[in-house]
């Protein structure tokens, strides 16, 4: 208990003023001894020595505070990554004075769910110079991670007192869920086959066409097929421009619905998020008009928007979007009861709760779907034929 109180007092002093290092305590004890001896003997030279030592201690207590005061800290934006990739985090420390800053400890206060705080040592920052610190943080779980502080600590130049200060440098790191490379997906491919055939023949013509169905032109993005590049416009603007084609689906949208308002087993919910991302991008590659629906966001469109929403979604979130759309959708859920209320033409993917005593075969449903088996690979099951 006494040790904990001592540490709290030391931290309080270090973050608000300074706290003595071991050498500082030792030198302070020596100064007190000299002062006591001078008081007993009335020897002037002992007073001089003790006065010099006390002056040195005072100077050593002031200099670390001044050393940190003029430092400015900036953080560059953090690019999103996918789970298991590394975040690239870059911090700049600027010395705006005409004196070099030496012997610093810099610590980035990461959230505990992302990892332990990362620390580095800086030997020297020249006058009017900038020190760039780049490190790479592994990721284990999707999410949107935010933290706010960078810690600066020094005992320079004499090493007798420690001073620690925090800088408010907000950070936001987005870790996207894994997207499985689906080769085929009958669930998506069979969506809407019960509709009238003329719509789908028209859709096939639109997919195979390269002229006459251009909706707009946009800048080239990595992964775009080269056959969609509009060469004449690209030559005019000096950068690649890609055609966005009209997609005809007979008025029908492919909606990926994630039952995020319901309670979930956490491992199953992570699989459901991966399935939602994989089905969305498979549908996008098939040039379908695909959207995502969650209870917290409603209907979303756009690759980056969808990935950010799936990175931030969590099980049991507040249902601010209301009821599910009254359109055919692919419903990802752990609630078997919700299957009977799906719109006509829908498909479903069901994760059975581990505590459920109801046999999988007895689950009633009016639409075809897939029951996920925990011991089987998710990618293989998403590519299997519907029940």
Alpha carbon distance 19, 160 (integer Å): 9
Residue 59 pLDDT more than 60?
yes
Q: What is the pLDDT of residue 245?
A: 60
> Which range of residues forms the domain containing residue 24?
2-57
> What CA–CA distance (Å, rounded) separates 351 from 257?
14
Same domain, 168 and 190: no
For residues 265 and 372, state if they share a domain: yes
Say whether both 163 and 274 belong to one domain.
no
Average pLDDT, the chain: 84
Do 357 and 307 reside in the same domain of the chain?
Answer: yes
Flag whether 201 is in a domain.
no
pLDDT at residue 7, as a whole number:
81
**CA 267 to CA 352: how far, in whole Å?**
12
Question: Does one domain contain both 41 and 73?
Answer: no
Whole-angstrom CA distances from 345 to 47, 131, 332, 340, 382 are: 95, 59, 15, 12, 18
Tens digits of per-residue pLDDT, 153-209?
999 888 899 999 999 999 999 999 999 999 888 888 877 555 443 434 344 444 444
Domain boundary among 176, 209, 226: 176
Q: Where are the alpha helices (DSSP H) in the chain?
A: 2-16, 22-41, 44-69, 186-189, 197-208, 231-237, 266-285, 303-312, 378-382
| C-alpha–C-alpha distance, residues 293 and 165, integer Å | 44
DSSP 159: S
pTM recorded for the entire structure: 0.76
Position 233 in a domain: no
355 is a domain residue: yes
Q: Are residues 16 and 92 in the same domain?
A: no
Looking at per-residue pLDDT, the higher value among 295 and 221 belongs to 295
Q: Let me know if residue 327 belongs to a domain.
A: yes
CATH (domain of 73): 2.60.40.10
Does one domain contain both 190 and 322?
yes
Q: Do 338 and 315 sit in the same domain of this protein?
A: yes
- What average pLDDT score do residues 320-339 get? 88
- Whether 130 and 16 map to the same domain: the answer is no
Q: Which of 28, 57, 86 is the last residue of a domain?
A: 57
318, 190: one domain: yes
Does residue 252 register a pLDDT over 60?
no
**Would residue 224 count as lying in a domain?**
no
- Of 206-210, 218-222, 262-266, 292-296, which range is least confident? 206-210
Task: Write the Ramachandran bin of 272: left for phi over 0, alpha for psi from -120 to 50, otherwise beta.
Answer: alpha
Best CA proximity match to 367, nearest among 183, 185, 190: 190
Domain limit, last residue, from 143, 176, 209 = 176
Quote the CA–CA distance of 102 and 66 in Å, as a whole number: 12
Collapsing DSSP to helix, strand or coil, 73 comes out as strand
Distance CA 381, CA 256 (A): 17
Q: What angle do CA 79, 85, 86 make, to 5 degrees?
A: 60
89-122 burial by CB neighbour count: b if 16+ within 10 A, else e? bebebbbeeeeebebbebbbbbeeebeeebeeeb
CA–CA dist 243, 212 (Å, integer): 11
In a domain, residue 221? The reply is: no
Q: How many domains does the chain have?
A: 3
257/154 same-domain check:
no
Listed residue (55, 385, 325) closest to 47, CA to CA: 55
pLDDT value of residue 223:
61
124 with 172, same domain: the answer is yes
Residue 202 located in a structural domain: no
Rounded Cα–Cα distance for residues 326 and 348 (Å): 15
> Is residue 100 included in any domain, yes or no?
yes
Query: Which pLDDT tens digit goes with each residue over 92-134?
Result: 999 999 999 999 999 999 999 999 999 999 999 999 999 999 9
Higher-confidence residue of 133 and 251: namely: 133
């Amino acid at each position: 208990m006494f040790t904990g109180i001592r540490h709290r007092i030391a931290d309080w002093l270090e973050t608000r003023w300074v706290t003595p290092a071991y050498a500082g305590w030792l030198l302070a004890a020596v100064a007190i001894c000299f002062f006591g001896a001078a008081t007993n003997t009335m020897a002037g030279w002992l007073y001089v020595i003790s006065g010099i030592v006390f002056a040195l201690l005072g100077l050593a207590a002031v200099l670390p505070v001044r050393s940190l005061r003029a430092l400015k800290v900036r953080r560059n934006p953090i690019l999103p990554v996918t789970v298991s990739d590394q975040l690239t985090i870059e911090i700049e420390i600027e010395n705006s004075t005409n004196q070099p800053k030496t012997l610093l400890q810099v610590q980035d206060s990461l959230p505990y769910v992302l990892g332990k705080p990362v620390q580095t040592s800086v030997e020297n920052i020249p006058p009017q110079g900038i020190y760039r610190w780049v490190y790479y943080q592994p990721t284990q779980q999707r999410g949107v991670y935010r933290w706010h502080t960078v810690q600066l600590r020094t005992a320079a130049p004499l090493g007798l007192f420690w001073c620690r200060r925090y800088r408010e440098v907000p950070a936001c790191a987005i870790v996207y869920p894994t997207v499985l490379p689906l080769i085929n997906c009958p669930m998506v491919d069979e969506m809407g086959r019960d509709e009238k055939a003329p719509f789908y023949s028209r859709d096939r013509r639109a997919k195979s066409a390269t002229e006459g169905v251009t909706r707009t032109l946009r800048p080239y993005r990595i992964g775009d097929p080269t056959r969609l590049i509009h060469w004449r416009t690209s030559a005019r603007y000096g950068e690649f421009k890609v055609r966005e084609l009209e997609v005809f689906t007979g008025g029908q949208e492919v909606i990926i619905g994630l039952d995020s308002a319901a309670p979930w087993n956490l491992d199953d919910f992570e699989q459901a998020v991966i399935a939602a991302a994989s089905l969305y991008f498979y549908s996008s590659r098939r040039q379908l008009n695909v959207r995502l629906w969650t209870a917290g966001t409603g209907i979303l469109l756009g690759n980056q928007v969808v990935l950010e929403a799936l990175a931030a979604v969590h099980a049991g979130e507040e249902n601010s979007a209301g009821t599910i759309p009254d359109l055919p959708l692919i419903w990802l859920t752990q609630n078997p009861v919700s299957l009977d209320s799906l719109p006509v033409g829908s498909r479903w993917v069901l994760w059975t709760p581990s505590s459920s005593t109801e046999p999988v075969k007895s689950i009633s449903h009016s639409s075809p779907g897939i029951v996920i088996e925990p011991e089987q690979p998710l990618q293989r099951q998403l590519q299997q034929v519907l029940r």
